[in-house]
Amino acid sequence: MPAASFHFPKGFLWGCATAAHQVEGNNTNNNWYRWEQEGRTKHKSGLACDWWGGRWKEDFDRAAEAGQNAHRLSVEWSRIQPAPDRWDEEALERYRAMLRGLHERGMTPLVSLHHFTDPLWVYEMGDPSTGSGRGWENEAVVPLFEKFVRKTVEALKEYCTLWCTINEPNVYALSGYLSGDFPPGKQDNKLAMRVLANLLRGHAAAYRAIHEIQPEARVGYALHYRPQAPAHPASPLDRLMRNIRYSGINLGFPSGISTGVMRTPLGNFRVPEAKGTQDYLGLNYYSVDTVAFDLRRPRELFSRAYYPKEADLSPTGFIANIPEGLFQSIRWAQHTYPNLPILITENGVEDPDDRLRPRYLAQHIHQMWRAVNFNWPVKGYFHWSLVDNFEWERGWTQRFGLWGLDPETQQRIRRPSVDLYAAICRENGLTSEMVQQYCPEVFEKMFPD
Ligand code: IFM
């Protein structure tokens, strides 16, 4: 049996990613809490993983003992600034304690300042009758976000130099304003693009504010990058639909940051202050969509996105295991922004029984290694996620954790993938023995004779 190994450069960051509302519990002052109370999610977040109650300590212990040297978490705006004129110093102190806790365990923190949730006072601000819109529909949110960022970065800068301004702005805008799965549940594509432009303005303001406070900071955002493949590459209509969907989902923020003009299929938005505002690109990669032209779907702009029949699907069919898509995503990032550091800020799969996760993990890390071997500057990988957590509108129906969680008892369940990922983190690489031990079913594929 060949003893192959795929090693990563020294100093590579290996960790998991989490988000405040998904793990903290009892977050009662934001738009998602309201959404849950209105019955718009499969379940409620409740106590989540009880990090606000202190269980972050045991989970950080688990991560550190499993060889992880970094962790990505987010702070909750509605806790830090519960009302426009009120700061909660105690909440900031708790976040300081968490970041200190990471350092004490030898882990580098990456802090996201916005991960899907908005304080209720932001969600409700504005007056739609005057056309000003609510929340991020309204450009007035930009200086408010900047103020929150300044306060938070001042308070946490002792413990963090790696910042993510906004997580998945494209998902926030498209899910809240196109599919309607996220609050405020609207279906208005023009408004979705307006929201995305305001998020870009917020990102740019945050980028400059953080650098003013902390010149050595490295600031970026996390893009949910979703490759799209035409169902029939020879069909011009499939290709057209693929291209529209691809740019609509992926290219708004990147074009704004490259040129100062955010380009979308529905028009261009000038945001000159966004040009050049990133020190690294965060890539969240999960899967690839296949896209076909479909006359029966006018609301989806005549396209249908699906996974191929033979796909290696997760239990609820949410994710298809397509590891080459991670390689493609990194290649796109490197071509779009030559030499800009890249962090894989999320990648993972929902899988309560841990049948698919080991091969998903090994095959994606193999693809990331291929990219590193082209000398593309990938600097770290954050698995989604450490412990099962609240999956937004899908509630607790999807289990993304290396560790399982019973949200009733708060009991953690160690899945085999914990040990595979620990072996990878400790080795700073993946070996053929690991593949043989944890996912022998893909051994031949990864190491063909
Ligand atoms: O749970 C989410 C996360 O909040 C954002 N990226 C995708 C994850 C899995 O659905």
Residues 173-220 have pLDDT tens digits of: 999 999 999 999 999 999 999 999 999 999 999 999 999 999 999 999
Distance CA 160, CA 62 (A): 21
pLDDT per residue over 21-40, tens digit each? 999 999 999 999 999 999 99
Q: Is pLDDT at 298 greater than 90 in this prediction? A: no
Instruction: Tell me what the mean pLDDT of segment 301-307 comes to.
Output: 93
Residue nearest to atom 4 of ligand 1 (CA): 19
Atom 1, ligand 1: residue with shortest CA distance: 391
Measured by CA distance, the residue closest to atom 2 of ligand 1 is: 391
The whole-angstrom separation of Cα 199 and Cα 101 is: 31
For 113-150, how does the pLDDT look when each residue is reduced to its tens digit (9 = 90+)?
A: 999 999 999 999 987 777 778 999 999 999 999 999 99
- pLDDT at residue 2, rounded to an integer: 53
Residue from 18, 24, 392, 402 to probe ligand 1 pocket by mutation (most atoms less than 8 Å from CB): 392
Domains of the chain: 13-417 (3.20.20.80)
Tokens of 260: 């100062």
CB atoms within 10 A of CB 441: 10
Atom of ligand 1 nearest to the CA of 19: 4
How many Cβ atoms are within 10 Å of 157's Cβ, its own excluded?
Answer: 16
Helices 357-372 and 324-336: angle between axes, nearest 10 degrees: 30
What pLDDT, on the 0 to 100 scale, is given for residue 247?
97
Q: Residue 270: CB partners within 8 Å, gap ≥ 6?
A: 260, 261, 262
Q: Spell 336-361 as b/e; 16+ CB within 10 A means b.
A: ebeeebbbbbbbbbbbbebebbbbbb
